[in-house]
Structure 1
Amino acid sequence: MTTDRQAAYEAEVLRHWAGQSDGAHDLAHLRRVWRNCQKIARAEGGADLEVLLAAAMFHDVVNLPKNAPNRAEASRLSAEVAVAYLAGTDFPPQKLPAVAHAITAHSFSAGVPPETPEARILQDADRLEALGALGLARMFYVAGALGGGLFDPEDPLAQRRALDDRAFALDHLEVKLFPVAEAMQTAEGRELAQQGAEWMEAFRARLLREIG
């Protein structure tokens, strides 16, 4: 169920996204991350859901392309946009730093360690999107958008070459996605991530059989 506050956050994010089109980072993605946040928060306990809702809705409000030279700044810029907007609402001002930190720390490329329950939960919730069937769909979508191939037909597992996930989508499993599954911050996140990683490994095995 979408609350009035969530609806207002979504409308503000869509205003910032006007003219953009990214199927891997859209309103459905934000809603799934928020659902993941709630699932993990219920299992872990101790998180502020008011902070988590705001952080989940605004974590990708500044959405820079994967190949942008300043990609690592996207989460910090998103945090700034979120705080500026929330400061003009009835959102508790004392919670703004927690929202900003959770958004900044969620990003893989930013390299900011999560230091609060909300930051750890948001990071895990967002990274679950990169795993399982949905993660594979997003992986191939992004690779296609960046002009990459599906896999190296001569050496799909990179046994005789260096991994290159910009050239071959399948390489992204080893370059980023399997390591992400091993680095989750919460117990619930780790369990869900393991399930997703096992599914991706099974998919890769099936793909390799099909291509011989």
Structure 2
Amino acid sequence: MTDTMSRYLTEDATSTPLAEAALKHAFLELEGDTSGHDPYHIVRVFRMAQRLAKTESADLETVELIAALHDVKDFKFTGDDMSGAREAERWLLEQGASSELAELVSGNIAGISFKGAGTETKPLTIEGKCVQDADRLDAIGAIGVARCFAYGGTKDRPIHDPATVIAHHSTTDQYLKHQGTSINHFYEKLLLLKDRLNTETAKQIAVERHAFMEAYLQQFYNEWDAQA
């Protein structure tokens, strides 16, 4: 764990010892990631989810646990749609959490991730909705642009190829196996997120971030065509 991560944990960042342990667990699991799903992503999602939990009167510990564990053994890395949910439940029970809390957290983790524009979504509690919004906010705006290209690089995706058709996937398997481009990923996921948020606070935050991506894409195309 980096010194920065260790310092973060000393700043009364969590509401309970279990939430602090979950953050530490996630930091260790995701340390060294270069796809944009590193410990700093967890910190940003965790902080934003806390902010949304307050505006939505959601249970703070539950929100923190979902946020901390949402990318551990995630389907993007395992290819298994339920691996993250199972790992969260296993870890929580191992820590002595109640079966009810473990099931609540794992059930929400199972439904948080975007798995294709046309895929069926799993129902979330208000706590899961807060974390889903926080996670989606981190996928748009300036950081979202940076993460898009970082993730594309780990998947050997080209930056842009005008001949590559945009695809809206109807199954998680299609989404995982699709080898598109990083620019197409904006249209296949990132630009869709603003209208798929749950909370009013997240929707307000998303407006500026969404506009930034649209402006970025226009500048990208201008430079691609040697017009800027």
- Partner of residue 124, structure 1: 133
8 A contact 1:80–1:100 mirrored in 2: yes
> What is the CA–CA distance in structure 2 between the aligned matches of 1:41 and 1:85, rounded to whole Å?
23
1:48 pairs, out of 45, 59, 62, with 59
Counterpart-to-counterpart distance in 1, 2:188 and 2:156? 18
Instruction: Name the counterpart of 1:208.
Output: 221
Please show how residues 166-205 of structure 1 align to structure 2 within 5 Å. Answer: 166-205=179-218
CA contact (8 A) 1:55 1:102 kept: yes
Gaps of 5+ in 2: 1-10, 168-177
Give how far 1:56 is off: 0.7
Task: Tell me the TM-score normalized by structure 1.
Answer: 0.82
Q: Which amino acid in structure 1 is aligned with residue 140 of structure 2? A: L
Amino acid across the alignment from 1:107: S
How far, CA to CA, are the matches of 2:30 and 2:147 in structure 1?
A: 19
| Matched length | 199
Unaligned runs of 5+ in 1: none
TM-score (normalised: structure 2): 0.77
Matched letter for residue 29 of structure 1: H
Within the alignment, does 1:79 sit opposite 2:88 as a pair? no
Identify which of 104, 109, 121 aligns with 2:110. Answer: 104
The equivalences for 1:135-146 within 5 A come to 135-146=144-155
- Give the letter aligned to residue 102 of structure 1: N
| 1:108 positional shift | 1.3
Q: Is the 8 A contact 2:26 2:72 kept in 1?
A: yes
- Give the share of equivalent positions with the same residue, in percent: 27
Q: Matched residues in 1 for 2:30 and 2:181: separation?
A: 28
**Post-superposition offset of 1:17:** 4.7
Letter aligned with residue 219 of structure 2: R
The worse-fitting range, judged by mean Cα deviation, of 88-97 and 189-198 is 88-97
Shift of the 123–86 alpha-carbon distance from structure 1 to 2, 3 Å rule, reads same
CA distance in 1, matches of 2:35, 2:188: 22
- State whether residues 93 and 99 of structure 2, in contact with CA within 8 Å, keep that contact through their aligned partners in structure 1: yes
Q: Check the 8 A contact 1:17/1:61 in 2, yes or no.
A: yes
1:42/1:11 CA distance change after superposition, 3 Å: closer
Q: 1:96 to 1:7 in 2, by over 3 A?
A: closer
Alpha carbons of 1:25 and 1:98: their partners in 2 closer, same or farther (altered >3 Å)?
same
Give the C-alpha shift of residue 15 in structure 1.
Answer: 4.7
Match of 1:29 among 20, 29, 41: 41
Q: CA RMSD in A?
A: 2.4
Which amino acid in 2 is paired with 1:206? Q
